Amino acid sequence: MKKITFLFVLLAANCVFAQERSIFSQAHDSSHFSVGVFSNYAVNSNALNNSFYKKIYLGGFISNDDKALVGKKLKNENRFGVDVNSGISFSQKIDTVLNQTGYGYFVSLRNCKHLDMSFSKDMFNVLMYGNEPFAGQSLNLGNFSASYVAYQQVQWGFTKTIQSDSAFTQYGLGLSYLNGQKNFTTRIEKADFFTEQNGDYLTLDIAGQFAQSDTTKGKFGSRSGSGFCADFFYHTIFENKSELSVSIQNLGFISFSEQSPVYLIDSNFTFDGLEVDKLLTLKDSVLLAISKDTIVDNVSTHGSKGYSYTLPTTFTFNYTYIVKENKLQLTAGLITRIQANFRPMVYLSANYFICSKFVLIPLLSYGGYGNLSSGLAFQTDMGKGFVLAAGSRNIEGYIAPKKSTGQGLYFSLKKYF
Amino acid sequence: MMNIKRSVIFLLLLGSAFTSCKKNLDEANWDVDGLTPIFKTSLDINNLLADSLIQKNADNSLKLVYSNRFYNFNVDSLLDVPDTTVRSSFKIPFGSINATPGFQLFNSTSDTKYAADGAALNKLFINSGTLTFLIKSKVEEKTDFTYSIPSATKGGTAFTFSTTVPASDGVNDGVYTGSFDIAGYDFDLTGQYHNTVNAFTTSVQVGINPNGNAVTITPADSIEVFLTFSAVVPSYAKGYFGMQNSSVASTSNFDLFNRIRAGAIGLENTTVTLKLTNGIGVDATAHINSLTSFNTRTNTSVSLVNNIVGAPININRALESPYTPSFYYNVMNSNNSNIKALLENLPDKMSYNIDVAINPNGNISNGNDFVFTDKLIDASLDVEIPLSFFATNLTLIDTVDVSLTEQTEHNRVNSGTLTLKVDNGFPLEASIQLYLLNENGNVYDSLLTSTLVEAAPVDGNLIVTSKKLSKLIIPLNKQKVDKVFATKKILVKTIFNTVSNPQYVKIYSDYTMDLKLIANFNYNIQPK
């Protein structure tokens, strides 16, 4: 029954990643169950900086200086991702199951939000500066994809521990029901945009699709769709005390209802002004005729139908080497995600025991939605069964927000009984 | 277990606090520079002038066709039907009658003459009007009263009504009043024997109410009926309308040049046909004593000089079956009149003095004059102006209705310009300005900074060879955008000059002017 709680934390922490596992779980080996609360958010990009995020999220005027700072980092292909998760958990060891030992189960409730995006430099420039500065130039707005999903998750899972004198292995499986709250998904394969030098006409050669969950719903807890996902974890400790972990998280989908607007776009569209007959009567209808809805109608076919959204699935591999027992551990890992505009991320972290009940965890990573990031976290055994873990994978986001592109915090608190 | 509960609650609260960061009320926003066409259109002469005014000649040149009815004969001068009250009295001549319930006191049919003011009518159809009854009874018992006009029919049914008149109390008469709509009734005015005029037949029955009591009737117990025709408007009349003379001096509107406020125009040629239409079944003689064009903006006038002025114009009567009006035409042009000068005065009013004599030769129709009151005598000018002219600072003013709903989006325009590209295919240059009008119709701002639309180039025959591009600029800022959205009318002032003045240029049907509005603006985006 050893280290069930350790396994649970790994399964529960979708985006906190493996290095945030409970280092002090062995100290509470004798406890039969535990409850916990966890929360995290993470934002990162290889181009957008923290100052930019702050204004987008908290509000404020984005100046040309702000845009220029982002512009310095823009590449032909840019990434952006956000994860916000929180939840509560419960786990319990089971003495025997069918006369076998080493089993446990866990239950958790989570609220999850995820946004990811891939966009071109031209897309950013047009959105932020407008098309006038680029009149006469062909702009590539294609290779754009973005998706947002908000859902609630009810998870149940079991764990199995196999322990011998020289080795230790754990694995587990979690199954979840997902309540799809809100989603949009868009993928624009091609979007060549041109503004004639004097504004005589605009052309847009575009192909892509856009789907959105039922627009009449979307508040917390409302159901626009339903889905399922599975999580898997495998962890082993070798004779030399080094550890290897592999996990798969969020392997599943959400099926959204038939009331979902879906747009298919494949159009070579030239707009050289709305043709008007009654010029000498200026009414709303003239302006409304070139509204967003009208343009969408012109370039797309659309209707309402159901669709499935594949969750961003995370694969984690890491290896921990014990440099000095109860003093220093080094972990190297690889994380990748599919369906999420995510680049494989490698990371290196150290667990440095300040004392037996307090561990400081510095971290370096490269990839994911961002580039090179540094983090700092800690875990502490607070006594009376409380274990607290908190930290940031992008500590630079709080030190130099205009220069850094990522930020995030995580927090978990467990109580062992 | 209490320890577990407390711990769980504590953890939940902690988690909630950690994740409940909310956005500020200020939304993220930024400025972008947009450049986009807004609308485009191509205008030909039919877009600039009403379709009904334009006709195409065989050589694709155009002419302006306009008809102005300046004189209408007043039906009242022909057929006046004044409000009229006719009194009838019923009583026994002597002695007394012991009248029991149901006893019939009077049963009378007679002709009633209607004052027709010199006309001798045998038919009168009513378009609208009211017939009012006032019945006064001195009989000291309720009486049943039935009144009918057999010669007034509607759909073949004669006018009739019945009522019970209250009894007199010995001091005050029993009184009944009632009004009836007589629209649609056709009156035969030849009397019950069809041998007279202006007379209609009435029939009256009066009896003691069957539910009343026996009463003694003496000659003092009279019943008076006051029959009032009011506000009678006929739709048709027939008979002899008499010899009548009508003289009218008046002014009418001439709106062909209404939008022109200043400047001069030279017309290469013009033809105006004076048309007199007689829709009445009477012979008539008209004298046009004067016809003058007035330009009230310049306070100038030009009187018509033509041999028709002051001369008698005999107009034959219209035919009734089938109905055929009679016409008289007099074509005027530069050779026989000063009609060109009269029109180049750019009149907005026409004044006239016309005498019309009806039946100048007496009752030659033997009482068969007729009139449909919506078909009378009128005089009009049918104008044909070839669109071959020159214009010197010809100033047109028009107002455009604006109906733009206040929207939050328009408040987000910081600055910019609207550029109206005008590709002019007409041989006229135009200086255009747009003025915003407030609710009192007063100008409170203008929109354009560059105002000149250059004329299209022409060849030696003054025919357009290509279009000429001009750009009109409308600078915008927040205040101006607000004004545009708030205004309900925009005044468009255009000053035209033709090329090669004073040579006449022709307008052809294939001449067009292409317009495109392009917006270049700095806009504040605030995603929702």
Substitution target from A32, A43, A61, A88 for chain B, most B beta carbons within 10 A: A61
* Residue B251 to residues B70, B110, B302, B311, B316, Cα–Cα distance (Å): 8, 48, 14, 21, 26
**Cβ neighbours of B24 (radius 10 Å):** 11
Is B253 in the same domain as B400? no
What is each CA distance from B316 to A26, B351, B355, in whole angstroms? 124, 25, 16
pLDDT in the model for residue B161: 92
Residue A83 has pLDDT above 90, yes or no: yes
- Contact at CB, A282 and B402, closer than 8 angstroms: yes
Q: Looking at the complex, does the CB of residue A55 fall below 8 Å from at least one CB of chain B?
A: yes
Answer whether residue A20 shows pLDDT above 90.
no
pTM above 0.90, yes or no: no
- 3-state DSSP assignment of residue A313: strand
For B133-165, the pLDDT digits (tens) are 999 999 999 999 999 999 999 999 999 999 999
Identify the domain boundary among B195, B210, B240.
Answer: B240
Nearest to A284 among B39, B405, B515 (CB): B405
Please tell me whether residues B278 and B341 are part of one structural domain: yes
Between strands B388-403 and A282-283, the pairing is parallel
Q: Residue B481 sits in a domain of what CATH number?
A: 2.60.120
Q: How far apart are CA B75 and CA B408, in angstroms?
A: 58
**Percentage of residues of chain A with pLDDT beyond 90:** 67
What is the rounded CA–CA span in Å between residue B27 and residue A57? 8
Is B186 in the same domain as B330?
no
Do B400 and B281 lie in one domain? The reply is no
Whole-complex ipTM: 0.84
Integer-rounded Cα Rg, in Å, for chain A is 25
On whether both B360 and B490 belong to a single domain, the answer is: no
Does B302 share its domain with B180?
no
| DSSP letter string, B150-204 | EEEEETTEEEEEEEEEPPP-SSSPEEEEEEEE-TT-EEE-BTTTT--SSEEEEEE
For the CA atoms of chain B, what is the radius of gyration? Answer: 39
- Range name among A146-160, B79-93, B236-250 with the lowest pLDDT average: B79-93
Amino acid at B146: T
**B167's tokens:** 């009894």
Chain A contact probe: residue of B14, B32, B404, B490 with most A CBs at under 10 A = B32
Q: Give the domain ranges of chain A.
A: 4-412
Q: Which of A58, A111, A132 sits opposite B34 (nearest CB)?
A: A132
Report the domain count for chain B.
3
Q: Do A60 and B41 touch (CB under 8 A)?
A: no
> Which of A114, A60, A406 is closest to B24 using CA atoms?
A60
Q: How many CB atoms lie within 10 A of CB B163?
A: 15
* CB atoms closer than 10 angstroms to residue B83: 12
- pLDDT tens digits for range B41-77: 888 777 767 667 788 888 888 888 889 898 888 777 7
> Looking at the domain assignment, is residue B338 inside a domain?
yes
Q: Which of B225, B240, B255 is the last residue of a domain?
A: B240
| Same domain as B345, residue B235 | no
Query: B401 to chain A: which residues are within 8 Å by CB?
Result: 281-282
Same domain, B382 and B298: yes
Confidence at B119, pLDDT banded by 50, 70, 90: confident
N-to-C CA span, chain A: 14
Q: How many CB atoms are located within 10 Å of the residue A351 CB?
A: 23
CB contacts of A199 in chain B (<8 Å) are 35-37, 419, 518-520
Q: Nearest Cα to A263, choosing from A313, A329, A307, A321?
A: A307
Kindly state whether residue B124 falls inside one of the protein's structural domains: yes
Q: Is the pLDDT of residue B21 over 80?
A: no
Cβ-Cβ contacts under 8 Å, A280 against chain B: 398, 400, 492
Q: What is the dihedral of CA B485, B488, B491, B492, to 10 degrees?
A: 60
Mean pLDDT of chain A: 87
Cβ distance of B14 and A37 shorter than 8 Å: yes
Is B333 a member of any domain? yes
- Considering the domain architecture, whether residues B377 and B250 belong to the same structural domain is answered as yes
Query: Which segment of A2-16, B13-27, B429-443 scores lowest on mean pLDDT?
Result: A2-16
User: Residue B516 sits in which domain range?
Assistant: 30-52+391-525
Q: How far is CA B210 from CA B99, B102, B204, B214, in A?
A: 11, 4, 18, 9
Which range has the worst mean pLDDT, A90-104, A361-375, A384-398?
Answer: A90-104
Decide which of B221, B240, B259 is a domain's last residue. Answer: B240
Handedness of CA A116, A121, A123, A128 (dihedral sign): positive
Q: Which band of pLDDT confidence, cut at 50, 70 and 90, is reported for residue A21?
A: low
Q: Which pLDDT belongs to residue B265? A: 85
Residue B168 shares a structural domain with residue B272: no
- Asked whether the beta carbons of residue A37 and residue B12 sit closer than 8 angstroms, the reply is yes
> Of B4 and B336, which is predicted with more confidence?
B336
A288 touches chain B (CB under 8 A): no
- A237–chain B nearest CA distance, Å: 31
